[in-house]
Amino acid sequence: MPLLDISPFAAALPAGALLGLDPGSKRIGVAVSDATRLIASPFDVIARTRFSEDAARIFALYDARACVGFVIGLPLNMDGTAGPAAQSARAFARNLLGIRDVPLLLWDERLSTSAATRTLIDADASRRRRGEVVDKVAAGYMLQGALDALQERALP
């Protein structure tokens, strides 16, 4: 479910891929959509350092993949309230927009990490392997939810 009305975000988007970010305290999961915005794919994990370095890596990926907007996961509490992690994600989004004004959507990513972990367990991934990829798989799961909502909005 989108946190904001998705219409202004969708209206601001030219054709092209979206970059999905799942910012955590230690790592940032990265996913990217195809240019038609039908399929999200887990892409990378960025180990957090200083924000300026993280942002430089993010925008390098953004530009290399010819992205036209961001979808950033907002980890709300199960009751829909915003805790410290959600405040941190909002600050992260504001700081990215301070570097470059691009279309950005904060997307409710409750249970994306749990769903990603369950998928990896079902795929018989080892605990070590799950730890290496869960952040980017969660970013892909979150981005796919946003893409599906964008597609539903586009239907007549």
Condensed to tens digits (0 to 9), the pLDDT of residues 11-47 reads 778 899 999 999 988 999 999 999 999 999 999 999 9
pLDDT at 17: 97
Q: Is the dihedral of CA 86, 78, 138, 49 positive or negative?
A: positive
pTM: predicted TM-score of the whole model, two decimal places: 0.83
pLDDT at 3: 44
Residues 108-142 as b/e (b if ≥16 CB within 10 A, e otherwise) read: bbbebbebbbebbeeeebeeeebeebbbbbbbbbb
What is the pLDDT confidence band of residue 2, given thresholds at 50, 70 and 90? very low
Helices (H), 27-81: 51-64
What is the CATH number that goes with domain 6-154? 3.30.420.140
Q: Is 56 helix (H, G, I), strand (E, B) or coil?
A: helix
Q: Name the token pair of 117.
A: 């972990």
pLDDT 10s digits, 39-92: 999 999 999 999 999 999 999 999 999 999 999 999 887 787 878 989 999 999
pLDDT at 139: 92
* pLDDT greater at residue 106 or residue 111: 106
* pLDDT greater at residue 124 or residue 32: 32
